[in-house]
């Protein structure tokens, strides 16, 4: 054995594989114990999720924290009552409104009900008289309102059933969040139900046997479940986003299956080449195992780049994905060789008929083998053709447009989106208003009240704000929350223009000019705008961090500048091609009917960053 071979067989991955093979029971049952304990720990300590009311960046984040600290605002909800033919004042219309008020008034979770039929409620009746809003609040903390919505939504559905000639639907902070969270959870279940069988099919085609196909999938799933549990621990220091579980599932399945498949495939190839079971396992551990170790560390370093965004959601994605990659890597380097040492050639049990036709006698693919041979015979031509295809796919990336998720991007089939669309037409800006927050030693002081009145006048005169404008003040008289319906849908150019008018002109000229007073604009439009601005400002830093440390890790691992540079260039080219495909599908709508989505407004800010790291 040469010095190079001896050093290869002594690397860390080889030593881990050798120990696991020699102690297969300890490695296997230790892994299962780790998964069970991790999952139980997560259930015991609980998960602390990000509070969207206090975690935002920029001006909106500061104003949200002022409201959360000194102004315990409940969640606001509205029920839309609409008729194509009748107007407010007609007996049937007023009866439908009164029925809605009576139903929600009986519920313990509801407070401060405002009927459009009462005096001084003109702002709750549409200009054409065909629509009216019943407004109320959900008792308790805003971030817990969704848990109390069940009876409220049922009462609204019952009112709709009792008045089939009207449209009766609910929209508000809590109902919108609950509906989108439920839709997201259902999509996650569908993704899991689709991805797991699809992954198994791919593995069966790759290995031709159910046992060999099942091992990588089971290792990946156990790594995901372990991460679900362990991620609860750091969530009490850095709260975790609700979407993190979906990211963990997809990333965990991808890397877990990839690493195990790579390792197992090499071991099978060594056996097909005539090596003994032990020698084949040692070779796989020393070569594929080392590649798995380097790949896992590289991915974890890349994921760490999300810590630099300064965004709580991405920071939680960072540690959650780093954990699942690390756990999947650990499983591939320990449990997999332990199982292979125990099963031996039994890993090829339960062969699947006909699959062997796409694989040669030595385990090589009959499809990819000839392709690789052709590439090796014409390397320059292959580089030109493959590079040309990737560049062509990457070209649409130049048109990439970031679109903040909003009502326009959610499925139109959701009841809450249907209600939002109707509310937006009947009461422009009411569904997603802007909020101007004022903090002073006494917001009831004449100078402050005068400035607020001046703000209302200028806002309405600008044409970017609609009536009704409402003002809420906390008990201490130190904070006022001014709600202004703005032009636009919440995330479109019109909404951003309204936000700019408030921030750049109206607020500075009125409340912002008062001494010893804090004032700023928040609301969903402001929050989305601030998050997008922060992401754009931090993106170069994240990109630089990932490229630099990935290059250094490749350099240390392979001791070759050429290999390290080639890896970086190929990754950049692949990511650019993926961006181009995103633009073709989600902006130009290519294949949207097949994929089942309707909006082509643009790409969510989360997607490009996750694809890059």
Q: What element of type H or E holds 582?
A: helix 561-582
Calpha distance 240→48 (Å, rounded): 6
Per-residue confidence band for 107, with pLDDT thresholds at 50, 70 and 90: very high
Give the CA dihedral 435, 441, 446, 447, nearest 10 degrees: -70
Say whether pLDDT at 94 is over 90.
Answer: yes
Distance of CA 102 to the CA centre of its chain: 39
User: In this structure, what DSSP letter does residue 346 have?
Assistant: G
**Interval 435-450 mean pLDDT:** 93
The torsion angles phi and psi of 59, rounded to 5 degrees, stand at -60, -40
| pLDDT for residue 30 | 93
Say whether pLDDT at 55 is over 80.
Answer: no
Q: Which has the higher per-residue pLDDT, 190 or 289?
A: 289
Sort residue 469 into left (φ over 0), alpha (ψ -120 to 50) or beta. Answer: beta
The torsion angles phi and psi of 515, rounded to 5 degrees, stand at -75, 150
Least confident of 50-59, 63-72, 419-428, 451-460: 50-59
The torsion angles phi and psi of 520, rounded to 5 degrees, stand at -170, 170
The torsion angles phi and psi of 389, rounded to 5 degrees, stand at -65, -45
Q: Which has the higher per-residue pLDDT, 75 or 34?
A: 34
Of 284, 299, 287, nearest to 329 by C-alpha is: 299
| pLDDT for residue 8 | 45
Q: Which has the higher per-residue pLDDT, 325 or 431?
A: 325
Among 320-324, 366-370, 464-468, top mean pLDDT goes to 320-324
Say whether pLDDT at 604 is over 50.
Answer: yes
Domains, the chain, ranges and CATH?
3-23+179-365 (1.20.1640.10), 74-172 (3.30.70.600), 433-522 (3.30.70.600)
Q: Which has the higher per-residue pLDDT, 144 or 368?
A: 144
The dihedral built from the CA positions of residue 161, 163, 167 and 169, taken in this order, carries a sign that is: negative
Say whether pLDDT at 509 is over 90.
Answer: yes
Say whether pLDDT at 275 is over 90.
Answer: no
Per-residue confidence band for 5, with pLDDT thresholds at 50, 70 and 90: very low
**Interval 423-431 mean pLDDT:** 84
Say whether pLDDT at 7 is over 60.
Answer: no
Neighbouring C-beta atoms of residue 14, cutoff 10 Å: 24
Calpha distance 540→183 (Å, rounded): 33
| pLDDT for residue 3 | 42
Neighbouring C-beta atoms of residue 177, cutoff 10 Å: 18
Q: What element of type H or E holds 3?
A: helix 3-9
Say whether pLDDT at 439 is over 90.
Answer: yes
Neighbouring C-beta atoms of residue 404, cutoff 10 Å: 22
Neighbouring C-beta atoms of residue 488, cutoff 10 Å: 20
Among 289-298, 355-364, 586-595, top mean pLDDT goes to 289-298
**Interval 389-413 mean pLDDT:** 80
| pLDDT for residue 597 | 64
| pLDDT for residue 601 | 67
| pLDDT for residue 141 | 80
| pLDDT for residue 115 | 92
What percentage of the chain exceeds 90 in pLDDT?
32
The torsion angles phi and psi of 492, rounded to 5 degrees, stand at -90, 180
Say whether pLDDT at 47 is over 70.
Answer: yes
Express each pLDDT in 206-242 by its tens digit: 777 788 888 888 899 999 999 999 999 999 999 998 8
| pLDDT for residue 57 | 85
Say whether pLDDT at 6 is over 70.
Answer: no
**Interval 13-18 mean pLDDT:** 85
Per-residue confidence band for 596, with pLDDT thresholds at 50, 70 and 90: low
Q: Which residue has the tokens 């102004």?
A: 71
Least confident of 93-102, 177-186, 279-288, 446-455: 177-186
Per-residue confidence band for 491, with pLDDT thresholds at 50, 70 and 90: confident
| pLDDT for residue 10 | 67
Q: DSSP characters for 246-302?
A: HHHHHHHHHHHHHHHHHHHHHHHHHHHTT--HHHHHHHHHHHHHHHHHHHHHHHHHH
Mean pLDDT (the chain) is 85
| pLDDT for residue 4 | 39
| pLDDT for residue 2 | 43
Say whether pLDDT at 452 is over 90.
Answer: yes
pTM value is 0.78
Of 215, 219, 210, nearest to 253 by C-alpha is: 219
Of 138, 121, 126, 137, nearest to 167 by C-alpha is: 126
Express each pLDDT in 112-142 by its tens digit: 899 998 887 778 899 899 999 999 999 888 7
Say whether pLDDT at 166 is over 80.
Answer: yes
Do residues 113 and 105 make contact, with C-beta atoms less than 8 angstroms apart?
yes
Neighbouring C-beta atoms of residue 141, cutoff 10 Å: 14
Calpha distance 519→522 (Å, rounded): 10
The dihedral built from the CA positions of residue 143, 148, 149 and 150, taken in this order, carries a sign that is: positive
| pLDDT for residue 202 | 81
Say whether pLDDT at 174 is over 50.
Answer: yes
Q: Which has the higher per-residue pLDDT, 8 or 293?
A: 293
Say whether pLDDT at 357 is over 60.
Answer: no
Calpha distance 227→255 (Å, rounded): 13
Do residues 331 and 31 make contact, with C-beta atoms less than 8 angstroms apart?
yes
User: In this structure, what DSSP letter does residue 504 have?
Assistant: I
| pLDDT for residue 362 | 53
| pLDDT for residue 38 | 93
Say whether pLDDT at 326 is over 50.
Answer: yes
User: In this structure, what DSSP letter does residue 197 have?
Assistant: H
What percentage of the chain exceeds 70 in pLDDT?
93
| pLDDT for residue 406 | 67
Cis peptide bond prior to 470, omega within 30° of 0: no
Of 222, 580, 602, 217, nearest to 405 by C-alpha is: 602
Say whether pLDDT at 324 is over 60.
Answer: yes
Angle at 308 between CA 303 and CA 312, to 5 degrees: 85
Six token digits for residue 112: 């401060």
């Amino acid at each position: 054995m040469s010095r190079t071979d001896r050093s290869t067989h002594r690397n860390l991955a080889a030593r881990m594989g050798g120990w696991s093979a020699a102690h297969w029971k300890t490695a296997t049952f230790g892994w299962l114990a780790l998964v069970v304990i991790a999952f139980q720990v997560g259930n015991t300590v609980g998960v602390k999720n990000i509070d969207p009311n206090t975690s935002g960046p920029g001006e909106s984040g500061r104003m949200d924290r002022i409201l959360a600290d000194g102004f315990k605002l409940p969640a606001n909800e509205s029920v839309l009552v609409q008729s194509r033919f009748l107007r407010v004042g007609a007996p049937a219309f007023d009866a439908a409104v009164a029925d809605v008020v009576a139903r929600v008034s009986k519920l313990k979770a509801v407070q401060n009900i405002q009927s459009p039929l009462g005096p001084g409620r003109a702002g709750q009746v549409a200009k054409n008289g065909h629509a009216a809003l019943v407004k109320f609040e959900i008792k308790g903390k805003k971030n817990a309102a969704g848990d109390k919505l069940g009876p409220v939504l049922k009462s609204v559905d019952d009112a709709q059933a009792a008045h089939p000639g009207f449209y009766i639907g609910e929209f508000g902070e809590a109902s919108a969040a609950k509906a989108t969270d439920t839709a997201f959870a259902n999509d996650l279940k569908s993704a899991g139900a689709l991805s797991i069988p699809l992954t198994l099919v791919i593995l069966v085609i790759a290995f031709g046997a159910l046992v060999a196909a099942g091992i990588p999938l089971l290792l990946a799933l156990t790594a995901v479940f372990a991460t679900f549990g362990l991620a609860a621990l750091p969530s009490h220091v850095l709260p975790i986003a609700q979407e993190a579980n979906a990211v963990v599932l997809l990333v965990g399945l991808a890397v877990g299956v990839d690493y195990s498949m790579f390792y197992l495939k090499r071991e099978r190839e060594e056996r097909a080449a005539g090596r003994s079971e032990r020698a084949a396992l040692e070779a796989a551990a020393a070569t594929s195992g080392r590649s798995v170790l380097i790949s896992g560390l590289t991915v974890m370093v890349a994921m760490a780049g999300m810590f630099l965004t300064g965004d709580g959601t991405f920071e939680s994605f960072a540690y959650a994905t780093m954990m699942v990659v690390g756990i999947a890597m650990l499983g591939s380097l320990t449990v997999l060789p332990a199982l292979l040492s125990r099963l031996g050639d039994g890993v090829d049990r339960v062969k699947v008929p006909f699959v062997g036709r796409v694989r040669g006698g030595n385990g090589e693919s009959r499809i990819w083998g000839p392709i690789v041979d052709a590439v090796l015979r014409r390397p320059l031509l292959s580089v030109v053709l493959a590079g040309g295809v990737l560049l062509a796919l990457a070209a649409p990336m130049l048109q990439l447009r970031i679109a903040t998720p909003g009502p326009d991007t959610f499925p139109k089939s959701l009841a809450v989106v249907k209600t939002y669309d109707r509310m937006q037409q009947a009461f422009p800006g009411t569904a997603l208003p802007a909020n101007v927050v004022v903090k002073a030693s006494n917001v009831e002081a004449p100078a402050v009240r005068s400035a607020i009145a001046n703000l209302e006048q200028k806002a309405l005169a600008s044409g970017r704000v609609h009536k009704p404008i409402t003002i809420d003040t906390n008990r201490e008289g130190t904070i006022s929350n001014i709600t202004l319906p703005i032009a636009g849908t919440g995330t479109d150019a019109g909404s951003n223009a309204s936000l700019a008018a408030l921030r750049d002109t109206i607020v500075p000229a009125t409340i912002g000019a008062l001494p010893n007073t804090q004032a700023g604009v928040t609301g969903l439009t402001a929050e989305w705008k601030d998050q997008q601005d922060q992401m754009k400002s931090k993106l170069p830093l994240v990109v630089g961090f990932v490229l630099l440390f990935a290059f250094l890790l490749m350099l240390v691992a392979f001791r070759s500048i050429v290999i390290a540079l080639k890896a970086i260039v190929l990754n950049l080219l692949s990511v650019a091609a993926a961006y181009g495909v995103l633009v073709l599908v989600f902006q130009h709508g290519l294949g949207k009917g097949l994929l089942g989505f309707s909006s082509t407004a643009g790409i969510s800010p989360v997607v490009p960053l996750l694809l890059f790291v």
